Chains A and B, each alone.
Chain A
Amino acid sequence: MNANEYRTPGEVLGWASEYVAGGGTYVWNQKVCASVVGIARITPAAATAEDQKPTIEVIREKERGPVPEPGTVVTAKITKLMPRQAAAAIVCVGPKAVREKFTGIIRQQDVRATEIDKVDMPTSFRPGDIVRAEVISLGDSRAYYLSTAKNELGVVSATSDAGAAMVPVSWQEMQCPITGQREPRKVAKVV
């Protein structure tokens, strides 16, 4: 079998006795066949592996949209403020924009790392703010649970009442460049 060739479903890639069937393939009648459209790749077995057969996989070319996973840093837009939590729409996972709609929730206790019981939601976020947050869990069936309890997480971009993009002045305040008005936020320390 030649590697790095385009394959379509059903094409025979090799004998199951010579290869391990990887992603995008299946075994039928002792033959490894492709199950998706893509490029066939052969990776030799790891030196420590018990079975010294190389693995065949077929890699799709069409990418799926990224999905938030626990531990990843996402960019989200605050959509709604509630007394104990803020709802946000996830727009990016890492550097990649999402294709579908994902909602996240930042709970009161996940806004900052210290004095977590004294957090006041309206002085931390406003609807429309762009925040960087970490996904802490898959949450309930409706939303991911997000956290901004780190120095580098929090509001990265916000507009003032005057409509200008505000400048951070401390980790708890942002200032409008036009009116000079200061507004409280949980500001991210962008490095």
Chain B
Amino acid sequence: MDFISPEGLRLDGRRPLELRQLQAEIGVVEKADGSATFEMGNTKVIAVVYGPREVQSRSQQQHDQALVRCEYSMASFSTGDRRRRGKGDRRATELSLVIRQTMEAAILTNLLPRSQIDIFVQVLQADGGTRACCINAATLALADAGIPMRDIVASCAAGYLNSTPILDLNYLEDSGGGPDLTVALFPKLDKVSLLQMDSKIPLDVFEKVMNLASEGAKAVAQFIREKLMENTKQLVLAKGR
């Protein structure tokens, strides 16, 4: 199948190096300590953060750092065919783990001993790149909750189809069979927090795709920072100072 037309346009009309439209909203759940929705094109994810709060089960309490928990789930209406998706299946467990590890690396857990931070992520609309979108939403929600972080985490996916590196795959491209790579990084520290790829590709191609995904993640980071600034300014205005 042709994923790139002779004019150099992808199936959804983007150029190979183009991101989808990003949208984000902060503070969508009133009761939670922090919450956000993040959209990358048609992929939409909501993340909700509770904490730092008291550890629910004593045995899990850590005396020198915070306990970070993450629960990923997919709404049954998020995909084309309506399907009951629990939070206990293999995919969800793996994603919960990946998101937890990525966020735990960002949070200054040693500042919040004996406490627990819960991150709940739910996919509302799935159109490829849910992994990256979940991490971005979780970052925004954590920042909204005021949890101290080393740096914001930004994530983006990239792939390699029709001998071309492609940024931010959508569902059709994702199921196109080519390699698919997700990167999460700390843009200011310039460190990689997550790198996932399940296929074999030549090293030079990998480097191209990896660089592309990192560039994408940096662009996402810029967007997240702008959103956070905007939100903070609104909070200041709301306080009337």
Contacts and interface: CB of A to CB of B under 8 A. Distances in A.
A9 B143 contact: yes
Contacts of A10: 149-152, 186-189
B148 A62 contact: no
Interface string A1-35: 00000101111100000000000101010000101
Nearest to B31: A99
A185 B142 CA distance: 47
Contacts of B189: 10, 28
Interface in A53-74: 60-62, 64
B149 A36 contact: yes
B146 A8 contact: no
Contacts of B231: 37
Contacts of B201: none
Given A37-B228, A62-B235, A8 B148 contact: no
Interface string B223-239: 01100110111011001
A12 B148 contact: no
Contacts of B146: 36-37, 60, 62, 64
Given A33-B151, A35-B108, A6 B229 contact: yes
Contacts of A33: 150-151, 188
Contact of A12 (B106, B108, B188): B188
A38 interface: yes
Given A28-B189, A33-B151, A35-B150, A8 B228 contact: yes
Nearest to A11: B188
A38 B228 CA distance: 9
Interface residues of A, number: 19
Interface in B126-161: 143-144, 146-152
B136 to A, nearest CB: 14
Contacts of A36: 143, 146-149
Given A10-B188, A12-B188, A61-B239, A38 B149 contact: no
Given A37-B143, A37-B228, 9 more contacts: A9-B151, A10-B150, A10-B188, A12-B188, A26-B148, A28-B189, A35-B108, A37-B146, A60-B146
29 contacts: A6-B232, A8-B152, A8-B225, A8-B228, A8-B229, A9-B143, A9-B148, A9-B151, A10-B186, A10-B188, A24-B148, A26-B108, A26-B148, A28-B189, A35-B108, A35-B148, A35-B149, A36-B143, A37-B144, A37-B228, A37-B229, A37-B231, A37-B232, A38-B232, A39-B236, A61-B235, A61-B236, A62-B144, A62-B146
Interface of B: 106, 108, 143-144, 146-152, 186-189, 224-225, 228-229, 231-233, 235-236, 239
